[in-house]
Structure formats: structure tokens, C-alpha cells
Structure 1
Amino acid sequence: MSEQKVVNVVVAGLGGQGVVKASDILADVAFRAGLDVKKSEIHGMSQRGGSVASDVRFGPRVNSPMITRGEADCLIVVAPDQMDVNRHVLKPGGVLVSPEALANVPGKLQAKSINVALLGVLSTHLDLPVEIWEEAIKANLAEKHHKLNLEAFAQGRAAAAQQA
């Protein structure tokens, strides 16, 4: 997917699954790549495990943080039961990244890093350097979580490569 146009990504899941953190990392990656970035979030009852969605838009120039229904280039769904709830945001032919993409992940994947593993899958669809992804992961997480999440990111990329 080319970053010469505005790219629209929705990250969706349940409160406590790292939806907002994943969107923070994605926005940071785009910013580090020199792109204009806008981000918005809908928390709902997220503190009680309710639906959470975050829109991230990036490209040469982005005017609005909100993604119009049916215009998302990519949809990351952290909780499988949120797939049908959020599918309407994905444009025809858009990329759906769900936990199913991690079914054949090499090695053991910890539940608390699934959001970053799904970013690894997403990264294979975007023309943004892996090094920038790794920098953004480190910048957005405490040092004690770097190793686990960098491994999860690599596992997500490996899982996507197996499916290609």
C-alpha cells in the first residue's frame, strides 16, 4: 500500500486489549516516516471491557482524523467478536487483520502482546520501514516490555509471510 495517498486504518477491540496503544504506535510510525498524521478514538465503555476503536490516518496531508464508513484501507480487530461490529468501516478490497492471522505464529505469543503482533501483520501491507516500527514500539512502551513486544511484532510479520 502506497503512502503517497492518505491511508486509513481502524484499530478495534475491547477495553484492556491495547487498542489505543496499538494506534499510538501506528501513528508514531507514520510520524517518524515524515507523514502527516491524525488520530481519533472512541472509548465507549472501555474501562469495563466495552468496544474501543481508534482511527489513524496518515499521508502527505491529512485534513480530518475521522474515517468515513466504508473508507478504511485496513481494519485491525484485536477481539474476534468485534469483527462484525466494525467490518462496515472497511472499504471493498481493504485489508482485514484479525487474530486468525496469528494462528500459525512461530513460537509462543503472549495475550498481552497480541496488539503488537497484529501491527506486525499490518506492517507487511504498508510501505514503512521495519526499523521505524521497532523504534516506535520502543518509544511507546516501557523498557521492560521491549523484548516481548519486539518479538511479538516479528512473530506477526512471520505469520503474514507464511500466509502470503
Structure 2
Amino acid sequence: MKVKNVVIAGLGGQGVLKASDILADAAFRAGFDVKKSELHGMSQRGGSVSSDVRYGEGILSPMVPPGEADVLVVLEETQVEINRPTLRAGGVLIAPDVLAPEALKNKKSLNVALLGAASTVLDIADEHWIAAMHANLAEKLHTLNEQAFEIGREAARARGLS
């Protein structure tokens, strides 16, 4: 399999790193070689945060080179243009506007909802996503986040992303 490059970006406290943990775990469970890196910036003060996840066969570096992200997931609209240079020509941008404003019961699950949207263009089976969510989130959050993931998937399909 060709290497898949995914960048997840947002602001500190939005769950960028948790989303990248779930993605990396799901890809690993699917049998891929996975590398992940993080750039925290001023994350404790609501500053920019990004995480690169690369998976496929024989991944040597965790960093996604500029202009080579197949998928860019951005959790905060103000971070779209800042991170757009990471996206390759023809790559897929997934931003909060993929969801209707009232779609989520809990805004803290936006990261998982946007992962759900990303899952429609990433070759990882559903059972690996669910197992990764369960492994990376507290049990009391499983149902809420499974619903958010599905809301993201449905929104992406409605927009023709899959």
C-alpha cells in the first residue's frame, strides 16, 4: 500500500493529539506500519497544535513533508489557511464546516466527528476505528464518541467525500 499522510491540526485543548492517537491506533490495528509526530506550539494557551500520522508499508519518517498530506483534518476554522500548505494537490481537506452547527450533542467530540469524516477517505475498516476509540477514550465516552464518529461519516458522505 502507498503511504498515507494525514495531518490533524487545531488549537490546544481541542483534542488534536487524541484524534491522532486514535488514527494511529486504528491504522496499527489494521496491520499498517505507523509513525506519528506532534507539534505542540503554545498548546497550553490555546495556540496552534498539529500532529502528523503516516501509515502504510515501510514508513521511515513520522513527519509529513510540506505539500504531501493526503488528508488534512482541521478542528478550528482559523487554522485552515495556516495548515493548507501541508495538503497536496488533490488532497482532501476536512474542516468543521463539514458538519451542521447543531449536529453534535457535545462540542468536545468534534475531533472524533471529523475523524469519522476522514474515515470515509482512509482505508481502515470500521472495526479498527471503533477498537481504537475504545482503547483511547474513557468508557463513559464510548457511546457519545461512536455517535459523533457516525455523524462525521454521514456528513462526509452527504458532501461526496467518500
Q: Does 1:37 pair with 2:34?
A: yes
- Kindly indicate whether the alpha-carbon contact (under 8 Å) linking 1:72 and 1:91 is maintained by their aligned counterparts in 2: yes
**1:114 paired residue number:** 110
Amino acid at match of 1:53: S
Q: Does 1:64 pair with 2:58?
A: no
Q: Percent identity?
A: 61
What SS does structure 1 have at the residue aligned with 2:97? helix
- Kindly indicate whether the alpha-carbon contact (under 8 Å) linking 1:104 and 1:159 is maintained by their aligned counterparts in 2: no
**2:21 paired residue number:** 24
Distance 1:108-1:57 versus aligned 2 partners, 3 A rule:
closer
- Kindly indicate whether the alpha-carbon contact (under 8 Å) linking 2:36 and 2:51 is maintained by their aligned counterparts in 1: yes
**2:147 paired residue number:** 151
Amino acid at match of 1:111: K
Moved beyond 3 Å, runs of 4+ = none
Of the candidates 90, 111, 125, which is equivalent to residue 121 of structure 2?
125
Alignment partners' CA distance in 1, 2:87 and 2:158: 24
- Kindly indicate whether the alpha-carbon contact (under 8 Å) linking 2:104 and 2:110 is maintained by their aligned counterparts in 1: no
Alignment partners' CA distance in 2, 1:115 and 1:94: 19
| Cα deviation digits, residues 71-128 of structure 1 (max 9, x gap) | 10010000000001100000000000000111277x5442100000000000000121
Amino acid at match of 1:112: K
Alignment partners' CA distance in 2, 1:108 and 1:18: 15
Q: Does 1:89 pair with 2:82?
A: no
**2:133 paired residue number:** 137
What SS does structure 1 have at the residue aligned with 2:112? helix
Q: Which runs of 5+ in 2 are unaligned?
A: none
Alignment partners' CA distance in 2, 1:41 and 1:109: 28
Q: Which runs of 5+ in 1 are unaligned?
A: none
Q: TM-score, normalised by structure 2?
A: 0.96
- Kindly indicate whether the alpha-carbon contact (under 8 Å) linking 1:74 and 1:90 is maintained by their aligned counterparts in 2: yes
| Cα deviation digits, residues 39-84 of structure 1 (max 9, x gap) | 0000010000000000000001100001110010010000000001
**1:160 paired residue number:** 156
Alignment partners' CA distance in 2, 1:126 and 1:67: 16
